[in-house]
Amino acid sequence: MSPTAREIIGLAHRYCELIEASGADNPSWLKGVAVLLPRLHAAVESLDRPVLTGGVALTPDLDTRFELYTHLVAILGDRDAYWTELDRADDPRTMTGSLADDLTDIYCELKHGLRRVDEDPEYSLRAWAEGFACHWSQHMTDAQRHIAVLDSQGRLEESTVALPKAGDNP
């Protein structure tokens, strides 16, 4: 296996571990994602551009995908939504970007490739390259952009869990 393939597989493992460790008890998980995404982006970009045949596909488990998405929405709280170029600036309810959606789609692509990587690493690499070219490159770009905004605001390690106030019953 080439050093590039080993690097991408290692980065994919690390990304999935960070997403799986996300939560209120791990407030630095998003900072880890912020550091990892540019490296992962560059590594996937280094793969040969696929001929888009649709022959290599990674089909996510939609129930698992939805569970992860709702988990990320809950822990990101008001850090989840962001403006896209098509949103109406005069109405905050029209924000259509979702960091939870971006991170979930990237996770699903990588996780499904990792499930096949031991038996056929070349298949996983081709599937990642094709999926990236067709779909998750936009999620990668949007996630990095929004995370950079959150970082500039000092909001990467925010906790969205309401802590009990003094006098509250446990």
**CATH superfamily membership of 3-47+57-152:** Protein of unknown function DUF5063 (1.20.120.1550)
Give the pLDDT confidence of 142-153 residue by residue, as tens digits.
999 999 999 999
Burial class (CB in 10 A: 0-12, 13-18, 19+), 114: middle
pLDDT of residue 166: 41
The conformation of residue 80, written as its DSSP 8-state character, comes to: S
Predicted structure pTM score: 0.84
Mean pLDDT of 120-146: 91
**59-113 pLDDT tens trace:** 667 888 999 999 999 999 999 988 676 645 666 566 567 999 999 999 999 999 9
Q: What is the pLDDT of residue 38?
A: 97
pLDDT above 90 for 170: no
The rounded percent of the chain whose pLDDT value lies above 90 is: 55
Which one has a higher pLDDT value, 63 or 168? 63
Q: Which residues contact 167 (CB under 8 A, 6 or more apart)?
A: none
Residue with tokens 């990674």: 58
Retrieve residue 46's tokens. 């280094």
- Going by C-beta distance under 8 Å and a sequence separation of 6 or more, which residues neighbour residue 151? 31, 34
